[in-house]
Structure formats: C-alpha cells, structure tokens
C-alpha cells in the first residue's frame, strides 16, 4: 500500500511533493476540492464528483486547467499506481500562484493536486453503537455568496466546529443557519426519520445552501427504491430531538447513526433499524453492475 501525490499530472511520493508558498490555495484557501473513496479499487461516482468539482470551480471563477476527462484519467492513474486495496482520494484545484494580493487576476495557471492514501474508514463500533454530535451556530465561508454550495478549500468554520465537537466528546458538529435550521454537518449531510407509524426520511434541500453530497444522492435513491417517503426540508433542533432516528452521510464514512445530540438522546439511544436497512441497501447499491464507479 502507498500514499502518492499527483501534481499537475506528475506522480511523486509525499516527501517529493512540493507546492509554492505563493499558491493561493495555501495563502487564502482559494481552491475547490473533492473527497472520493474507492469500492473494490475503483473510485465511486467519479464522474459525479468531477462534475461537482467543475461546478464548484465555476462558482468561484477558477478555470480548470485541463478537461474533466483528463482529470478523470489522472485520478484513475494515481489510484492504480498506489496499489491500495481501497483508497481515499482528495482532488484539489487551486487558483494558482502569483503576486501577493486578493485580486483573482494576480494568479496564473491553476494547480491540480491529487492525494491518494490507503482508506481508513470509521471503526466498526461507530456503526454498531452510533456517534454523538453537537449543534453549532456558525456562518460558512460561502454562505450568502455566489459560491454558496461550492466545495471550497476555506474550511475554517468547519475546523472550529469540529474543535468544539471534539472538546465535548462528539464526532461531528451539526451546523445551524441564521434562522435556526439545521442544514448539514461540518463534514457531512444530515438525515432524520420522523417518529410515528409511517416514518418519513427528512433531509435539507440543496436550496438551504448545503453541499449536494454524492453519498446523499445515493441515499435518496436507495430510500425511494425501498419505498420510503422522503421530505426535503431543513429541520430544527426540536425536529431532531423528536426524531426516531438520525444519521449523517459522507463519502468516506457512508452512513453513521447519531445516537446523541448535545446532551439529549436520539430515540432509544441506539442505531435504529431504518438506518441499518438503508445503510445495507446503500452498500449493495454502490457495487451494482453498471454503477457509477470509475471503471
């Protein structure tokens, strides 16, 4: 197994990987990125990730220096050369280097960096026992801007949210917007099942300013296939406290059940049957013949 880095198409070891200190990704977080994982050695939903990357770049006015097809080839090549059974992939495009200053036209030639490292998923007990999360009021870097919904490199708000979560013994922070709605996790999308005889799967809509997660899209497709009723709305904390089940989703972690929010237990304090059902269905979904893997 290996960790490899591709810088503008040249694959090197981590020790050899160098980026200029004048790169705007380093100086200002002026970049966009994607996080991808493999299943059976193939990047899952690679085309969807690349499409989202291109959309993020367009929102922040970064012109991709190569085509989406060339990016695809670069990702597949470095994954293959790593020799990892399963890989974590981080694909980044910065605005490039140039003179100091915030004006975008000071930068020249956007930079493409691809990191590939062996995949380390959450421990089994996280799925078996569930995780604790906290609620966190903050404004994200792209809120109420033309870049809203883009996956940008400026993650300071999420870093600080995760710092608070860790200090309180939690694994994730749920972000509340200015109206008190819970829109997403610091590094994840959010789902809940309502209580009652016919539970409804609720998740915030893209219009709430969330990152349109690739795993989120798969979860919604699987839920509909299972005949579950789906409602797109941003819940309040009260909605979460009344929920029978809550879970988060992300590319690396898939679906993680949430059993505690702040100091309040979710449901009976254990991962629920609907979360387990939808997670099992999702894991089968990503390995279907003709799915959206990179092969």
**What would the pLDDT profile of 60-93 be if each residue is shown by its tens digit?**
999 999 999 999 999 999 999 999 999 999 999 9
Q: How far apart are CA 32 and CA 93, in angstroms?
A: 5
The pLDDT of residue 277: 97
Report which of 58, 33, 77, 84 is spatially closest to residue 146, judged by C-alpha positions.
58
Catalytic residues: 151
The pLDDT of residue 197: 87
CA atoms within 13 A on the CB side of 192: 26
Report which of 115, 67, 77, 2 is spatially closest to residue 294, judged by C-alpha positions.
77
Residue 16 has pLDDT above 90, yes or no: yes
Helix (H, G, I), strand (E, B) or coil at 293: strand
């Amino acid at each position: 197994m290996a960790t490899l880095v591709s810088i503008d198409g040249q694959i090197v070891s981590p020790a050899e990987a160098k980026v200029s200190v004048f790169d705007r990704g380093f100086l200002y977080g002026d970049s966009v990125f994607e996080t991808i994982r493999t299943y059976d050695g193939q990047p899952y939903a690679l085309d969807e990730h690349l499409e989202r990357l291109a959309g993020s770049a367009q929102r922040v006015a970064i012109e991709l220096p190569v085509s989406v097809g060339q990016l695809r080839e670069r990702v597949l090549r470095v994954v293959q050369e790593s020799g990892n059974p399963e890989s974590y992939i981080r694909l980044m495009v910065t605005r490039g280097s140039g003179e100091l200053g915030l004006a975008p036209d000071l930068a020249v030639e956007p930079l493409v960096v691809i990191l590939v490292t062996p995949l380390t998923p959450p421990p089994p007990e996280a799925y078996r026992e569930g995780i604790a999360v906290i609620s966190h009021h903050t404004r994200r870097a792209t809120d109420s801007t033309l870049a809203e919904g883009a996956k940008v490199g400026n993650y300071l708000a999420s870093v600080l949210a995760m710092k608070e979560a860790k200090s309180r013994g939690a694994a994730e922070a749920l972000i509340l917007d200015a109206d008190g709605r819970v829109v997403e996790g610091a590094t994840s999308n959010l789902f809940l099942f309502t209580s009652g005889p016919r539970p409804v799967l609720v998740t915030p809509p893209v219009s709430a300013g969330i990152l349109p997660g690739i795993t989120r899209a798969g979860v919604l497709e699987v839920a509909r296939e299972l005949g579950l009723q789906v409602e797109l709305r941003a819940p309040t904390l009260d909605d979460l406290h009344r929920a029978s089940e809550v879970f988060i989703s992300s590319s690396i972690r898939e679906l993680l059940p949430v059993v505690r929010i702040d100091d309040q237990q979710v449901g009976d304090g254990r991962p629920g049957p609907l979360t387990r059902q939808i997670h099992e269905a999702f894991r089968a979904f990503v390995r279907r013949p003709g799915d959206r893997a990179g092969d």
